[in-house]
Amino acid sequence: MQRIPIKLAKPGFILAKEAITPEGQVLCGADTELTEDLILRLKKQGVLVLTVKGHPVRLPGELPLSEKLRELDRRFSKVKKDPVLKALETLIGEFWIEQEKGEGYLKRLKSQKS
Amino acid sequence: MDKEEIRKRLKDVESLPTLPPIVSKLNEMVADEDTTATKLGKIIEKDQVLTSKLLRMVNSSFFGFPQRISTVSNAIVLLGFNVIKTLIVTSSIFEVMQASDVGLFEHSLGCATAAGIIAKRLQIKNPEEVSTAGLIHDLGKIVLRSELPEEYEEIVKITNEKGLYIREVEHQRLGIGHGEIGGMLARQWNLPERLVIPIEYHHKPGSSPDFKDITAIIHFSDILIRALGFGNSGDPWVPSLDHKAWELIKFKKSDVKEIISELDEKLVELQDFTLEIKKDA
Ligand SMILES: [Fe+2]
Ligand SMILES: [Fe+2]
């Protein structure tokens, strides 16, 4: 699942969540496949962001997951001893992993191990 | 250079864009009890450029208003005069920042977004003020860059070479940090203390004399946005957490998870906003 600015949406992408205007109006549901027309219409209605299935777009400046996690670790390198910040780092890492691999990925991984 | 000298240098910040003349007029009007949001809005709307900038800011995702705000008087009613005034006072500063330091601009927008999310969660009164405090929390850095360019360049150089926090180097070289500098300036501009104090104390929220909750929120939002690697605030390191401030907000893991997810979504929208601004610039 990935959230992308609507500018980067392409026909063939499949919505993972409903398309919503900034005012909260639902325009179409999850599992809808995007078409050229639909994207135009959503733009016109003011939709800014779409949540789509998989990870179809590498956003400008976005790093691959492994590198993202390495950078995260580096940013925290001065505060390794703080348990609250340690927990924050773990949460962010897990959030990114699940975002890329799908919700529930870490849980499944854990249950496989045990 | 010592603190006093810097204080003097900042007393009449000349190379910084001057305050829009409209500000003193507005201050007078606000002091007058008969002034209404509609009257204030009308005055501001005479300046079309300012109005369009203002409306773009108030409609951007970091305030996260569900409905579109289309007039200045509406903006005043919904966000409060403190917020509108701060946006007007700092509008030219943000222009400078967009042009000279996009990374810091993104860091500021990101911090504003995080602060707004957290303030709403903690049910702080007028969360938009907290967002605004987040928006301008690193004001001191912009001032340093434009007022003491050589020193600033030196500070950045040392920060990178030695892998330090930029704040440490500011203190080493100037005896004062960007928090204090930003606070000084904000006070000089008569911004409300509710905004001045969080700017001043965002790196030492434990010593903040007042508005401790807002200061703690800005402190943590700064940490959070750096942790996510969004924007660039002069060094890449996550700052240390002040545990006295953390006690005031102290989220459970599940809360932080929700905050991260909400923030992430807003940051995507924010990228849209910054792309739009870059295109216009
Ligand atoms: Fe700062
Ligand atoms: Fe900051």
Specify whether the CB–CB gap between A42 and A50 falls below 8 A. Answer: yes
Specify whether the CB–CB gap between B151 and B1 falls below 8 A. Answer: yes
Ligand 1 center to B233 CA (angstroms): 8
Cα distance between the two ends of chain B = 36
Provide CB contacts within 8 A for B13, sequence distance 6+: B143, B146, B147, B185
Interface with A, mutate which of B238, B249, B275 (most A CBs under 10 A): B238
- Dihedral sign, CA of A29, A30, A31, A36? positive
Q: What share of chain B in percent tops pLDDT 70?
A: 93
Most confident among A85-89, B2-6, B9-13 (mean pLDDT)? A85-89
**Alpha carbon of residue B96 to chain centroid:** 14
Question: Does A59 score more than 80 pLDDT?
Answer: no
Mean pLDDT of B211-221: 97
Provide CB contacts within 8 A for B186, sequence distance 6+: B136, B139, B195, B196, B199, B200
Range of the domain at B229: 3-280
Domains by residue range for chain A, with CATH: 2-52 (3.90.105.10), 65-113 (no CATH)
Ligand 2 center to B231 CA (angstroms): 10
* CATH number where B73 lies: 1.10.3210.10
Mind telling me how many Å the CA of A113 is from chain B's nearest CA? Answer: 24
CB contact under 8 A, B229 and A79: no
Q: What is the pLDDT of residue A70?
A: 97
Among all residues of chain A, which has the CA nearest to that of B69?
A23
- Global pTM reads 0.87
Mean pLDDT of B67-81: 89
- Nearest CA to B272 out of A6, A29, A16 is that of A6
Amino acid at A21: T
A16 secondary structure, DSSP code: S
Amino acid at B175: G
Mean pLDDT of B91-115: 88
- In the predicted model, what is the mean pLDDT of chain A? 89
Q: What is the pLDDT of residue A15?
A: 94
Ligand 1 center to B202 CA (angstroms): 6
Six-digit token string for B70: 């289309």
Look up the ipTM and state it: 0.88
Query: Pseudo-torsion of CA B2, B4, B6, B11, nearest 10°?
Result: 180
Six-digit token string for B16: 């910084």
- In the predicted model, what is the mean pLDDT of chain B? 88
Ligand 2 center to B74 CA (angstroms): 30
- Nearest CA to B95 out of B148, B32, B52 is that of B52
Q: What is the pLDDT of residue B239?
A: 96
Q: Three-state DSSP class for A25?
A: coil
Question: Does A113 score more than 90 pLDDT?
Answer: no
Instruction: Report d(CA B185, CA B142) in Å as an integer.
Output: 11
CB contact under 8 A, B228 and A92: yes
How many distinct structural domains can be found in chain B?
A: 1
Q: Which helix (H) or strand (E) holds A20?
A: strand A19-20
Mean pLDDT of A16-38: 90
Question: Does B204 score more than 60 pLDDT?
Answer: yes
Specify whether the CB–CB gap between B109 and B62 falls below 8 A. Answer: yes
Q: What share of chain B in percent tops pLDDT 90?
A: 52
| Burial grade of B33 (CB within 10 A; 0-12, 13-18, 19 or more) | exposed
Q: Which helix (H) or strand (E) holds A96?
A: helix A83-101
Which has more pLDDT, B275 or A30?
A30
Mind telling me how many Å the CA of A55 is from chain B's nearest CA? Answer: 14
Q: What is the pLDDT of residue B59?
A: 86
| Ordered DSSP codes for chain B | --HHHHHHHHHT--SSPPPPTHHHHHHHHHHSTT--HHHHHHHHHTSHHHHHHHHHHHTSTTT--SSPP-SHHHHHHHH-HHHHHHHHHHHHHHHHHHHH-HHHHHHHHHHHHHHHHHHHHTT-SSHHHHHHHHHTTTHHHHHHHHHSHHHHHHHHHHHHHHT--HHHHHHHHHSS-HHHHHHHHHHHTT--HHHHHHHHHTT-GGG-SS-HHHHHHHHHHHHHHHHTT-S--SS-PPPPP-HHHHHHH---HHHHHHHHHHHHHHHHHHHHHHHHHHHH-
Question: Does A73 score more than 90 pLDDT?
Answer: yes
Which has more pLDDT, B19 or B138?
B138
Specify whether the CB–CB gap between B163 and B114 falls below 8 A. Answer: no
Question: Does B129 score more than 90 pLDDT?
Answer: yes
B/e letters for A20-54, b = 16+ CB within 10 Å, e = fewer, are: bebeeeeeeeeeeebeeebbeebeeeebbbbbbbe
Amino acid at A101: K
Specify whether the CB–CB gap between A106 and A97 falls below 8 A. Answer: yes
Most confident among A102-111, B77-86, B87-96, B154-163 (mean pLDDT)? B154-163
Which has more pLDDT, B229 or B30?
B229
